[in-house]
Amino acid sequence: MLKIYIISSLSDNYVYLLRNDEKKITSVIDPGEADPVIEFLNKKKWHLNEIINTHHHNDHIGGNDKLLEVYKSKLIAPSYNKNHISNVDIYVSENENLDIAGVFTEVIHTPGHTLGHVCFYMPEEKSLFSGDTLFYLGCGRVFEGTMDQMWTSLLKLRCLPDDTAVYCGHEYTLSNMKFAQYFDTNNALLNKVSLEIKNKREKGLPTVPFNLGVEKKINPFLRADDDNFLKSVSLGGNNATETFCKIRLKKDSF
């Protein structure tokens, strides 16, 4: 069984350190900076075997070069727009499988936030690393792709089993929670989860990982095709993509 450590980085990024004790493999996902990762590895006396990037934004790859210099790790990154990330050893794209930290992993291409964005799903570990595609109660801004691409990407993640633990790229949960509550005032599950979130943040604790099954019922960005939800928030479009677009644009200026 994999151990997953959460390392806070920059202002609100999460870097994930994956340790397979049995196989003695250590991997890091989205190191926006190297120093907190090196400090952690030094304490544990572990070598860094692999660096994995979900997308090319600097707050997810900024630590690559230094970590590569120190550990000569293997770098795994999305194949789309290859020139966006340097020194990549293994490119990955939609529906490819690979081992990360010695654990079977499926690659899910989720264009929208960036065109090449990929998420990593480990079925045996029941874990998803969602980068900047799916956040707790939110989703990434649509920078490079279209709204239709982002909605389609979120639908791919929504198909994963309910008992999946989601590890996302940022601690945006409180702000996402306020937006979700603004829309969805009578959602008892959202209100219950919101109390848990507030408690965690008051103690300075991360709100990740979060449960995908719960998320399907409370994240507005996963519910653009849910008629009951749409009636209650009076924000329907002619189709799910249009509705998703309305919710996303509303959040951009919330």
How many CB atoms neighbour CB 43 within 10 A? 8
**Can you read off the two tokens belonging to residue 114?**
């960036």
CB of 79 to Fe ion, least distance (A): 18
- Looking at the DSSP bridge assignments, the partners of residue 167 are 129
The values of phi and psi at residue 239, to 5°, are -155, 175
Q: Is 170 in the site for Fe ion (CB under 5 A)?
A: no
CA-based radius of gyration for the chain: 18
Stretch of 36-44, 124-132, 177-185, 228-236 lying at the interface with Fe ion (CB under 5 A): 124-132
How many CB atoms neighbour CB 17 within 10 A? 22
Q: Is 171 in the site for Fe ion (CB under 5 A)?
A: no
CB of 137 to Fe ion, least distance (A): 17
3-state secondary structure of 68: helix
CB of 52 to Fe ion, least distance (A): 15
Total residues binding Fe ion (CB under 5 A): 2
- Please state whether beta strands 90-92 and 13-20 pair in parallel, antiparallel, or not at all (unpaired): unpaired
Cα dihedral 132/50/102/159 (nearest 10): 10
How does DSSP classify residue 82?
Answer: G
CB of 104 to Fe ion, least distance (A): 26
Q: Rank residues 58 and 199 by Cβ distance to Fe ion and give the closer one.
A: 58
Among 2, 28, 33, 57, binds Fe ion (CB under 5 A): 57
d(CA 177, CA 190): 8
Residues 81-120, one symbol each (x = binds Fe ion by CB under 5 A, - = not), give ----------------------------------------
Q: Is 132 in the site for Fe ion (CB under 5 A)?
A: yes
Q: Rank residues 32 and 102 by Cβ distance to Fe ion and give the closer one.
A: 32
Amino acid at 84: H
CB of 60 to Fe ion, least distance (A): 6
How many CB atoms neighbour CB 14 within 10 A? 22
CB of 132 to Fe ion, least distance (A): 4
Q: Rank residues 57 and 248 by Cβ distance to Fe ion and give the closer one.
A: 57
Q: Residues interacting with Fe ion, by CB under 5 A?
A: 57, 132
